[in-house]
Structure 1
Amino acid sequence: MTNLKINVIIADDNSFIREGMRIILTSFPEFDVLATVEDGAQAVVFCEQNVVDVALLDVRMPNMNGVEATQLLTSRTQTKPLILTTFDDDEYILNAIKYGAKGYLLKNNDPELIRSAIISVHKGHNVLQDAVLEKIKSNLTTDNGKVSSAERAVGFDASSYTEREMSVIELIAKGLSNKEISKRLFISEGTIANYVTSILGKSGLEHRTQIAVYYLSGEID
C-alpha cells in the first residue's frame, strides 16, 4: 500500500523564496506541494477550500502576516501552521506559538532539517529550533545577567502549581523530554506525563512547546 503524501502549501511574498522552497520540497518524495501563495489571506482561503496538512508561512507578508494567518488556520481548518522566516523576532515567536503554530524555523536551515520539521509537525509534534529558543533566552537578561527562575516564571502565578509541577515546568523549559525529566526527578515517565497534563490544564496552553516559551518569557497570565 502506497503511503499518502503530506499536502503542503507555501506562503511567502517573495517569489524567489516561494519557487525555491517549492523546488526543494518537491525533490522529497514525502511531499505534495499543492500551491504557493503570496500572503496569509490567500493561504487561509486555500486551506479552507482544500485539504492541506502543513502550511509553511512567512512572517512578514502584505494583507495578512503569518501570525495572523496562523490564528485563522488553527481556528478554521485542520491545517498545521509551520512558521518559516528570516525574522527571529521574539514578539513574532511568542504570538505565533500562542495562536497555534506547530513550529518556528529560520529559512537558512538545511533542506533536510526543514524536511524533518514538516514531517514532525505533520505527525503531531511541535518544532522549535534551538536557535529560536536561544534568541528568547538571550533577551531575558538584566544588567546583572540572566533573570532568575522566579522572574522568568512570573506569568505562571507559581501559587497555582505544586512544587513538583514547577520543577517539571523548569525542566521542560530546558528542553528535556519526559523520559529525561523522569530520570532527573526519579519518578516514572507516566507520572511526568500526568504532571504535564495537569500543567497544560492549569495554564490553558495546548502543548509543551508553549510551556517552555512562555515560562522563559514570563508571558503566561
Structure 2
Amino acid sequence: MIRVLLVDDQELMRVGFRMVLGAAGDLEVAGEAANGEEAVRLAEQLRPDVVLMDVRMPVLDGVEATRRIVTSGSSRVLVMTTFDLDEYVYSALRAGASGFLLKDTPPDDLVSALRSVARGDAVVSPAVTRRLLDRFVDTGRLAPRDAGALDVLTDREREVLVQVAKGLSNTEIAAELHLSEATVKTHVGRILSKLDLRDRVQAVVLAYETGLTRPGARD
C-alpha cells in the first residue's frame, strides 16, 4: 500500500481527497494535517510515502513545510494548488517538491500522480514547469544561480540538459541529437546524479536559474 499524508487547511478538500484515495485499491490515508507545522510533525512521525501538500496555509505554509520534510528525508511531496502560475509552486519546486497538480485535477490523474511520486518520479511535465518559470524570468523573480554549477557536465550532457529544459522527452531528444534513446536515458541519469537533482523538473528549474535556457527557448 502507498501511504499518503493529506495536508490542507480546508477540511472539505481533505474529505474529497480521502474519498478519491479510498476508491483506489493501493492507496491509503496515513494521516491528515490542517497546516504546515502539523504536516512536518506528522511526516516525521508517520513516514508516509507521499505528502499531498497544499501550498497556502496558516501557521506554516506548504513551501517551508515541503523544505523541512524533504530535508529530513521522511517523505516525498506532491504540491496541490488552485492555479498553475502560483508563485508558491515555484518556491515549492525549489524546496524539493516532486511536482505539482491543480486541485481540480481529475481523480484518476491524482491517483496516477501519487503512484508516480511514490515510485520516485516527477509528475509535472517539464513543459508545464517551463511556463511557470517563463513567468518568473519575465517578472525578474527567478532566483539566479552560478552557472559554474554546470561545470561538472560534459559538453554532450549540457546539450542534453538544454533539450530537457525545452520539455522534450527522451525519444524527442534522441531524434534531435541523433542519439539512441538508451544513450539519452544514460545522459539524463548522469546529469541528475552529477547535479544532485531528484528528477527532470528539478533539472528544468536549474537550467533556468543558471541561464542555460531562456524563456520561450524552443529551437
TM category, shorter: 0.7 to 0.9
Shift of 1:162: 4.4
Shift of 1:219: 7.1
Q: Structure 1: which 5+ residue stretches go unaligned?
A: 143-152
Shift of 1:214: 3.0
The correspondence of residues 117-128 of structure 1 with structure 2, limited to 5 A, is 117-128=113-124
In the alignment, structure 1 residue 106 sits paired with structure 2 residue 102? yes
AA partner of residue 38 (structure 1):
A
How far apart, CA to CA, are the structure 1 residues paired with 2:208 and 2:42?
A: 35
Q: Which residue matches 2:163?
A: 171
In the alignment, structure 1 residue 32 sits paired with structure 2 residue 28? yes
Shift of 1:104: 0.8
**3-state secondary structure, aligned to 2:51:** strand
Q: Which residue matches 2:5?
A: 9
Q: Which residue matches 2:215?
A: none
**3-state secondary structure, aligned to 2:24:** coil
How far apart, CA to CA, are the structure 1 residues paired with 2:182 and 2:89?
A: 30
Which of the numbers 131, 142, 146 marks the counterpart of 1:134? 131
In the alignment, structure 1 residue 23 sits paired with structure 2 residue 15? no
How far apart, CA to CA, are the structure 1 residues paired with 2:85 and 2:196?
A: 24
Q: How many residues align?
A: 206
Which of the numbers 207, 211, 215 marks the counterpart of 2:203? 211
How far apart, CA to CA, are the structure 2 residues paired with 1:102 and 1:10?
A: 15
Shift of 1:140: 4.2
How far apart, CA to CA, are the structure 1 residues paired with 2:76 and 2:145?
A: 30
The correspondence of residues 22-61 of structure 1 with structure 2, limited to 5 A, is 22-61=18-57
**3-state secondary structure, aligned to 2:101:** strand
Q: Which residue matches 2:185?
A: 193
Q: TM-score, normalised by structure 1?
A: 0.80
* Higher mean C-alpha displacement, 126-135 vs 26-35: 126-135
Q: Is the 8 A contact 2:130 2:166 kept in 1?
A: no
The alpha-carbon distance between structure 1 residues 202 and 124, as it changes in their structure 2 partners (threshold 3 A), is closer
Shift of 1:10: 0.7
Which of the numbers 81, 97, 116 marks the counterpart of 2:112? 116
**C-alpha RMSD over aligned residues:** 2.7
Q: Is the 8 A contact 1:155 1:215 kept in 2?
A: no
How far apart, CA to CA, are the structure 2 residues paired with 1:218 and 1:11?
A: 32
The alpha-carbon distance between structure 1 residues 218 and 105, as it changes in their structure 2 partners (threshold 3 A), is farther
**3-state secondary structure, aligned to 1:100:** coil
Listed one character per residue, the Cα deviations across residues 162-189 of structure 1 (whole Å, up to 9, x for unaligned) are 4433321121012222233122211233
How far apart, CA to CA, are the structure 2 residues paired with 1:217 and 1:75?
A: 21
- Report the identity percentage: 36
